[in-house]
Structure 1
Amino acid sequence: MRPAPSLLIGVAGLLVGATVIGLLPASALFTPAEAHDHAAEAATAGERWACPMMDYIGNRPGNCPVCGMKMTRVTAGELTAEQQRRMDVQLSTVVAGPARPLVRAYGIVRYDDRTAQVIVPRVAGRIVRRHPAALHAGTVVQAGDPVVDLYSAEVFAAQGELAAAVKLGDQPTIRALTERFDRWNLAPVARAILDGHLPVDTVTITSPFAGRVVLALGGEGDAMDGRLPQVGQEVMADTALLRLVEPDAYMLVMQVPETRARWLRVGQPARLASDDLGELPDIEAGVAWVAPELNRELRTREVHVHLRDPQGRLLPGSLINARFETALTADLEAADPAEPSTWGRFTLVPKTAVLSTGVRHVAWRVAERQSDGRLRFELAPLALGPRLEDESGNDVYVVRAGLKPGDEVATQGVFLIDSQAQLAGTPSLLFPHGAVSQPASAAHQH
């Protein structure tokens, strides 16, 4: 069987082509590569060319390869007066001064448990009646107000003994029994027997002091879950009938972050406010206790503030905002806010001037002012101390290194300045050595 003519023609063509290629010189087949001009390829430090229309950044001038528009130069850290206006760049001067942080905390109002007192019957018996003082929590009780009526066989027997002693004229026994009734807080019952009245089996237990009725204090749960004395309840001499606290004495229990709590001192005054009442300048309050250990879950320290509210505006459970004006010593410890001689002096920069990743902190400092209004900024890496809150929100940082008093820094438009540096490949917040920096070993070799 004879091969197809087309197959023979194809094979012959391949043989002829291979022969021709083998006979041609190399210069006819390959063009020698031109030497790379690395100086031309490399971007001028701090300079890039950007398309005003498309998202394209190049390192040479010319037209945009995407849309054809002429690219404009982008120079890191240099802004014309018009660029400053469009970016709304604002500057601030770094200052030196005392550190006066404002510590803010929210607390829950509760009764001051230091003023708590307990009403006990002092005699055993059974409750047969409740008076208004024992009907509701929160009732204000005055000294001498009746609490409950108590049926007591013990008191009835003591009245009989006193009546017998009076009939016999036994003065030592009369004095002893009268003193017993005084200890029971039932002196009127003894006087009635001395006046010739008959013994009674039911006596009224009165409150020996004034206060507000509470069922539970801080840390004991909800006061409404407590229990008031009940009719028919049998009580012992030491059974707690009611607990009273001073009506206008309260305390705030607050959780203050550990970094701020160490600036508070016992006795330090506090300014109070609430969402519904506003500022409360007439309520005097002060720090009474700062917990010596941290809450491991919240990373806070518990702080107690004692206060008095004679006008009765506060309610237990209310949320109150407390503000403490503090001061720091030269070693950033708590100083006496009333003694300026104990305050330290620090380099202070506005918070708005600082860009931070949480680990690295920088500011953009004015390096040069030109006659045509241009500003040239330079990156200033910072070592920061604590942030100091301000009443009006103008917070500042303590600067440990990186800036000095008198330096001018950008406080608005800072992100735009830093973004411009990233586009130009120069050092910025995220790229300490520049976005295009690479080790020498990474350059391609020939």
Structure 2
Amino acid sequence: MKRSKQKLYIISVLLVLVVTFSIGRCTAPDSSQTQQTSVNQSGTGDSQSHVGHQQQTNFLPEEFTTWTCSMHPQIQQPEPGQCPICGMELIPITASSGEDSGPRTLTMSQTAEALADIQTTRVEKRYPEAKVRLVGKLGYDETRVRSLSARFPARIDRLFVNFNGLKVQRGEHLAQVYSPELLTAVSELLTSHRYNPGSSATKSAKEKLRLWDLLPSQIEKILEDNNPIEEFELLAPISGVVVQKKINEGDYVKTGQPLFKIVDLSHLWLQLEAYEADLAWLRFGQSVSFSVEAFPGESFGGNISFIEPELNRKTRTVTLRVNVPNNGGRLKPGMFAKAQISAQIAKNGIVYTPELIGKWISPMHPQIIKDGPGQCDICGMDLVPVEKMGITVDEEAEAPLVLPASAVLRTGKRAVVYLKKNAERPTFEGREINLGARAGDFYIVKSGLEQGDEVVTHGAFKIDSALQIQAKPSMMNPDGGGPIPGHQHQESSTNSIDHEHSDYDSGGHVGLSLKIDLITSKNLLPHYLSLQSGLAEDDIESAKNTLKEMMKVTGHSGQLSSLVHTMLAAESLDDLRKPGFEALSKAMIDQVSRRPEAFGQTVYQMFCPMVYGDRGTSWLQADNNLRNPYFGGRMLQCGELETVHKVGEASIHAH
């Protein structure tokens, strides 16, 4: 009886469970409705957490999840920041949404564009201004130098100017002399004038004395006193400074013997040295501004009066002569000067000077410019139209198409820009263009762009790197693909640094050929010297910090920038030293050797014959305490002093 009751109880429980399950199946809501209800409700902690997560996600750009460096794509981080190698701002890696727009085209969201700091500008027509910076030295105006020599035999009885450097005015006495020949000539004048003042004999006697450097006032004084003079005062023919005194009291001088040299320093000549590449921007009559160390912050000016017709075969420069007014005598001959010449550039790269339209100029003194024909106020020569002196003043000279230099990526002979094609969905297209001359911060465009095109002026290198990250070909490589520019190692081919066959040695080392302009090398010198010191101390951290500072000078595109980035990627001191530091040293030595006066400090060129197996190499230091950057502590003193590059002097070769 008891067992029967237990069986009945179990059966009852099972029936209840089956019925409950069946009712639940029939009355349960659809799963999609349940999920929707959970999203819409806000009363529970779970639903609040889900909505909060949704809101946080909406703040982030949809396309990217990873941040990378445009120069070092091996760097992958989950959030923005700076590249631990080169310090550049990281950029987001964007996922392509939509159809692929082409192998040379990159599309990104507006958010990604802002984060990558992409900046653009319109291509326009304008007259760019080229600035040519030169160095030179002040000297005498050779047209204002007067040598005084003996016109007759004489004895120097008294010397009033008895040392160099004295200032004299025209007509002031220089010396007192005695001459029997002069006494005879004066007697002839008095005799002729006494009996026939207007005779040819009188005129001839006056002319003889004039040719003997007697001033008209002296001749008139002799006639007025009617008395032969036994001693004669030698007077200054011009105002100026006595720069040479070649006689002493008591000397006997012969006809033609030099006595004094007097220079009028109210005008000077500034001799400037221009490289071949600068000649396109230089014209006769151009204004020149310059400064000297004696008066910091003050600017002086003059005009180009002469351009040497021949190139100096040793220095590869052309000498320019600038006429400089020197009111007050503040400027001194021998002073070094830093000059700047500005030129407006028209189409086809010609210098355009609209301010001289219709003007006439003196061929000998270009500072004399008038509105019409006439004579030079200085030399009396006829003025000529400015066009005859090679000055372009065509009123219809067309403004060229220009774009900022920062927009151009240079790869050897190729020039590449990125155009923005769509503002709503930023799309950037790479294009190879043909450039003309560079004028200041602009390039003249020959072909490849139209007026109004919008080009990337900041961030083009990031776009090019992003293309490669997406497995698209780089515009920096004409064949597409290949390593990222600036990261080629010495085994790889490169478009930014040329490998010259002459630089291969028997040990298999490669010498990189690098060119740096004068202005960049001047700004780079302090960092280069710091880099040399860091390598000599085997301090790779210090060396890489210096390379990061160098990037502020080099920027992030071009030949020099590629080398600096390659050196930054080096994992060891040896990789950093060769061939990178050697290429940098060669380029710096090239500029310092040409223009030591332009760098403002003396630098020492060292040489070590043991860096490579069968050849040595050179570098620069701030002092003559030899510290080898190629061996560091292993052989710190290995090498010798090769050359001293002194400011304002020719380089001194130690060997």
TM-score, normalised relative to structure 2: 0.46
What is the CA-CA distance between 1:384 and the residue it aligns to?
0.6
256, 259, 263: which is aligned to 1:245? 263
The 3-state SS of whatever aligns with 1:341 is: coil
Larger Rg: 1
Q: 288-297 or 179-188, which moves further after superposition?
A: 179-188
What is the CA-CA distance between 1:278 and the residue it aligns to?
3.2
Closer/same/farther in 2, CA of residues 417 and 147 from structure 1, 3 Å limit: same
1:312 aligns with 2:358: no
CA deviation vs aligned residue, 1:32-73 (integer Å, no higher than 9, x gap): xxxxxxxxxxxxxxxx99896996599xxxxxxxxxxxx966
Quote the residue 2:403 is aligned against: 349
What is the CA-CA distance between 1:360 and the residue it aligns to?
1.6
121, 133, 143: which is aligned to 2:170? 143
The 3-state SS of whatever aligns with 1:331 is: helix
Would the aligned equivalents of 1:336 and 1:342 in 2 still touch at CA under 8 Å?
A: no
161, 184, 193: which is aligned to 2:212? 184
408, 418, 429: which is aligned to 1:364? 418
427, 439, 447: which is aligned to 1:388? 439
Closer/same/farther in 2, CA of residues 377 and 165 from structure 1, 3 Å limit: closer
Structure 2 distance, partners of 1:84, 1:73, is 10
Quote the residue 2:239 is aligned against: 210
Closer/same/farther in 2, CA of residues 238 and 265 from structure 1, 3 Å limit: same
What is the identity, as a one-letter code, of the residue corresponding to 1:125? A
Counterparts of 1:253-272 in structure 2, within 5 Å, are: 253-272=271-290
Structure 2 distance, partners of 1:423, 1:252, is 55
Q: 84-93 or 187-196, which moves further after superposition?
A: 187-196
What is the CA-CA distance between 1:336 and the residue it aligns to?
3.5
Quote the residue 1:432 is aligned against: 478
Would the aligned equivalents of 1:351 and 1:397 in 2 still touch at CA under 8 Å?
A: yes
Number of residues paired by the alignment?
353
Structure 2 distance, partners of 1:418, 1:151, is 88
CA deviation vs aligned residue, 1:364-410 (integer Å, no higher than 9, x gap): 21133335xxx221211121100111xxxxx1000112222211122
Q: Per residue, is there more strand in 1 or in 2?
A: 1
What is the CA-CA distance between 1:353 and the residue it aligns to?
0.8
What is the CA-CA distance between 1:295 and the residue it aligns to?
2.8
1:113 aligns with 2:127: no
The 3-state SS of whatever aligns with 2:348 is: coil
Structure 2 distance, partners of 1:106, 1:194, is 56
Closer/same/farther in 2, CA of residues 164 and 429 from structure 1, 3 Å limit: closer
Quote the residue 1:9 is aligned against: none
1:419 aligns with 2:470: no
What is the CA-CA distance between 1:362 and the residue it aligns to?
0.9
225, 248, 253: which is aligned to 1:235? 253
Structure 2 distance, partners of 1:279, 1:340, is 34
The 3-state SS of whatever aligns with 1:98 is: coil
What is the identity, as a one-letter code, of the residue corresponding to 2:263? V
Quote the residue 2:571 is aligned against: none
Would the aligned equivalents of 1:356 and 1:429 in 2 still touch at CA under 8 Å?
A: no
Q: Per residue, is there more helix in 1 or in 2?
A: 2
The 3-state SS of whatever aligns with 2:329 is: coil
Quote the residue 1:6 is aligned against: none
Would the aligned equivalents of 1:131 and 1:147 in 2 still touch at CA under 8 Å?
A: yes
Structure 1 distance, partners of 2:240, 2:220, is 27
What is the identity, as a one-letter code, of the residue corresponding to 2:333? P
What is the CA-CA distance between 1:312 and the residue it aligns to?
2.4
Closer/same/farther in 2, CA of residues 317 and 87 from structure 1, 3 Å limit: farther
Identity over the aligned pairs, expressed in percent? Answer: 25
Quote the residue 1:98 is aligned against: 127
TM-score, normalised relative to structure 1: 0.65
What is the identity, as a one-letter code, of the residue corresponding to 2:281? W
Closer/same/farther in 2, CA of residues 433 and 149 from structure 1, 3 Å limit: same
The 3-state SS of whatever aligns with 2:463 is: helix
Would the aligned equivalents of 1:360 and 1:429 in 2 still touch at CA under 8 Å?
A: no
What is the identity, as a one-letter code, of the residue corresponding to 1:350? P
What is the identity, as a one-letter code, of the residue corresponding to 1:379? G
Quote the residue 2:21 is aligned against: none
The 3-state SS of whatever aligns with 1:326 is: strand
Would the aligned equivalents of 1:422 and 1:431 in 2 still touch at CA under 8 Å?
A: no
The 3-state SS of whatever aligns with 2:436 is: strand
